[in-house]
């Protein structure tokens, strides 16, 4: 049920919790998850009811995001809001871009939505976008957190395949693709891919996530040769259990060993 609890005020807004929120600055997070098959993005529902709450005017999805409070920086805001909307905590979150086009809230549906929830549809909102990486063993989000959301986020957050996204609010599809592009580049220079995997992973899982993110196919034997030459990917004394095939060796990523490894960056240049 959408409770229209935001009060519009030309200078600043007071939200339903009586907190001063900044009208010009919001945060949005693109949460990536990997279910061992494909890359997923976490979205929340946006449902607009008729004033009598009897009928749905429209329903679509949006990134988890909201305005910043004026007593928190954007890093704090994005963590707070992500927790409020999805229950996720302790994820790898990193700012990757700001979106501030003048028409980003101007689609007809978005204008209707903004008016309905009591916001000034003409106020300019610049959003600082973050990406988050969630390990496969955390991909089932807190089942209850979303129930305590402000009324206008009335639905459970859900995962969507990156190549199978629904209609999205505002410029959120653009933000997701920008995040995906950023991720592809980031993966080349930083060992962040491991944050999409559980602490213990198999080499096939590692290969698959590289294939999914870089949109490529890799040769199994060559992949394993390269990986096992790297001394920061460490075989554990454990194997998979409960799989109906030969159980795989488990490995972990060692950040300290990775940091020590010196490499000539120039040779990585494409250029």
Provide the 3-class DSSP secondary structure of residue 186.
Answer: helix
Among 18, 143, 267, 271, binds DNA (CB under 7 A): 267
Tokens of 147: 């129930």
Contact between 229 and a second copy per CB under 8 A: no
**Closest approach of a second copy to the CB of residue 163, in Å:** 18
Asked if 6 and 121 count as a contact pair (C-beta separation under 8 A), the reply is no
Packed helices 220-229 and 203-214: angle between N→C axes, nearest 10 degrees: 110
Q: How far is CA 141 from CA 83, 202, 255, in A?
A: 10, 23, 26
Using the structure block, give the residue that is written with the tokens 């949460």.
31
Q: What residues contact residue 97 under an 8 Å CB cut-off, 6+ apart?
A: 128, 129, 175, 178, 179, 182
Contact between 90 and a second copy per CB under 8 A: no
Q: List alpha helices for 190-260, DSSP H.
A: 203-214, 220-229, 255-260
Contact between 71 and a second copy per CB under 8 A: yes
Window 185-214: residues binding a second copy (CB under 8 A): 185, 187-191, 193, 210, 214
When CB distances are held under 5 to 8 angstroms depending on the partner's kind, the choice from a second copy, DNA, none that residue 204 binds is DNA
Among 41, 42, 44, 68, binds a second copy (CB under 8 A): 68
Among 237, 245, 256, 270, binds a second copy (CB under 8 A): 270
Tokens of 188: 């080349």
Contact between 8 and a second copy per CB under 8 A: no
Looking at 51-59, 101-109, 145-153, 242-250, which segment touches DNA (CB under 7 A)? 242-250
**Closest approach of DNA to the CB of residue 163, in Å:** 20
Contact positions vs DNA (CB under 7 A) = 202-204, 219-222, 224-226, 229, 239, 241-249, 264, 267
């Amino acid at each position: 049920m959408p409770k229209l609890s935001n009060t519009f005020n030309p200078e600043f807004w007071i939200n339903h919790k009586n907190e001063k929120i900044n009208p010009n600055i919001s945060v949005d997070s693109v949460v990536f998850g990997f279910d061992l098959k494909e890359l997923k993005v976490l979205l929340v529902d946006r449902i607009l009811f008729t004033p009598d709450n009897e009928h749905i005017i429209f329903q679509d999805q949006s990134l988890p995001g909201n305005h910043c409070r004026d007593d928190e920086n954007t890093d704090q805001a994005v963590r707070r809001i992500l927790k409020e909307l999805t229950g996720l905590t302790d994820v790898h979150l990193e700012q990757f871009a700001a979106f501030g086009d003048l028409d980003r809230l101007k689609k007809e549906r978005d204008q209707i939505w903004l008016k309905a929830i009591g916001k000034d549809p003409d106020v300019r909102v610049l959003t600082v976008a973050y990406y988050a990486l969630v390990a496969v063993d955390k991909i089932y989000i807190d089942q209850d957190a979303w129930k305590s959301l402000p009324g206008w986020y009335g639905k459970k957050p859900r995962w969507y395949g990156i190549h199978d996204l629904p209609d999205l609010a505002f410029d959120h599809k653009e933000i997701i693709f920008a995040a995906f592009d950023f991720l592809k580049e980031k993966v080349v220079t930083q060992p962040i891919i491991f944050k999409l995997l559980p602490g213990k992973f198999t080499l096939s899982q590692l290969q698959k996530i590289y294939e999914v993110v870089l949109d490529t196919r890799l040769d199994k034997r060559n992949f394993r040769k390269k990986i096992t030459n790297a001394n920061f990917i460490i075989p554990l004394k454990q194997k998979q259990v409960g799989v109906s095939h030969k159980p795989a060796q488990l490995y972990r990523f060692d950040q300290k060993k990775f940091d020590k490894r010196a490499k000539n960056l120039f040779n990585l240049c494409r250029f």
